[in-house]
Amino acid sequence: MHMTQRDGALDLLKWLALLSMVLDHLRYVGYSLDFLYVPGRLAFPWFCLAMAANLVRTRAAATDGQWRYLGWLMVFSVVSEIPYRVYIPDPDTLNVMPTLVLGLLVARGWQQLVLQSRLLAVAAVLLAVLFPERLMFGFFGVLLPLAMLLVIRRAWYFSLLPGVVCLAANQWAVLYDAAREGNSAAIFGIAACLIAPLLGVLFLRHAQSVRPPPMRRWAYALYPAHFLLLLLVREFVA
């Protein structure tokens, strides 16, 4: 959301999440870059943490602003689907935006004592339960923004709890089997999932003096745009 007073640490977290996402998707450019899976595990939990931080900061703000936030997420959920499917080979889920939309509804429903928000949260949970295989990060991915919201102002060690939710959202069984066979990307990927929320919370608390370029509404377009840019890179190196 656009704020009158910028939070430099929050903007930094968003930029780092974007960088992690781009690194993760570089694995599909055409080279053997499996090690980028590890920093890629930071992107989704950091976007969820940024969402939770926005909800905390705007709890007393006008409801219209929060509806605009939801509206932009929904618009770019649709806009991003084609470039996502063109770039990612044989995707078996929707792009990440629908997961964030449902996660936002769940977190807001917990935060706001309004019947409409509670009903939307229940509907979001039901969709996540009924169609987890269509959502990137599945049912637990929808719960991650709420998990972040519950611990964002608590002692640092509570941030390990959403780390467990993050790990569950990242196909825990597949990661565990690969790690047991000695796959280093899986081993470090598990570690990244577990510590990502804690690292993000530490950024928010101890990087207040940092002033990166602010991420405003134009940043939504970076999600579909980065797929198109990486597609050009893949065509160039092919």
- Tens-digit pLDDT profile for residues 29-53: 988 889 999 999 999 999 999 999 9
Going by pLDDT thresholds of 50, 70 and 90, the confidence category of residue 174 is: confident
Q: Of 96 and 60, which is predicted with more confidence?
A: 96
Average pLDDT of the chain is 92
**Which pLDDT score, from 0 to 100, does residue 2 have?**
40
The pLDDT value given to residue 64 = 59
Which position has the higher pLDDT, 213 or 68?
A: 213
Q: CA angle 86-47-165, nearest 5°?
A: 100
The arithmetic mean of pLDDT across residues 198-216, rounded, is 92
- Pairwise CA distance, residues 138 & 168, whole Å: 9
Q: What is the pLDDT of residue 15?
A: 97
Domain ranges of the chain: 8-237
Q: How confident is the model at residue 65 (pLDDT cuts 50, 70, 90)?
A: low
pTM: 0.93
Residues 83-107 pLDDT 10s:
999 999 899 999 999 999 999 999 9
Judged on CB neighbours under 10 Å (0-12, 13-18, 19+), 126 is exposed
At 77, the amino acid letter reads: S
Q: How far is CA 202 from CA 41, 134, 140, 158, in A?
A: 17, 32, 23, 12
pLDDT in tens, 119-158: 999 999 999 999 999 999 999 999 999 999 999 999 999 9
State the pLDDT confidence band at 63, using cuts at 50, 70 and 90: low
pLDDT at 60 over 80: no
Q: Going by C-beta distance under 8 Å and a sequence separation of 6 or more, which residues neighbour residue 99?
A: 135, 136, 137, 141, 142
Q: How far apart, in whole angstroms, are the C-alpha atoms of residue 221 and residue 78?
A: 12
Instruction: Tell me the mean pLDDT in the region 166-171.
Output: 94
**4: confidence class by pLDDT, cuts 50, 70, 90:** very low
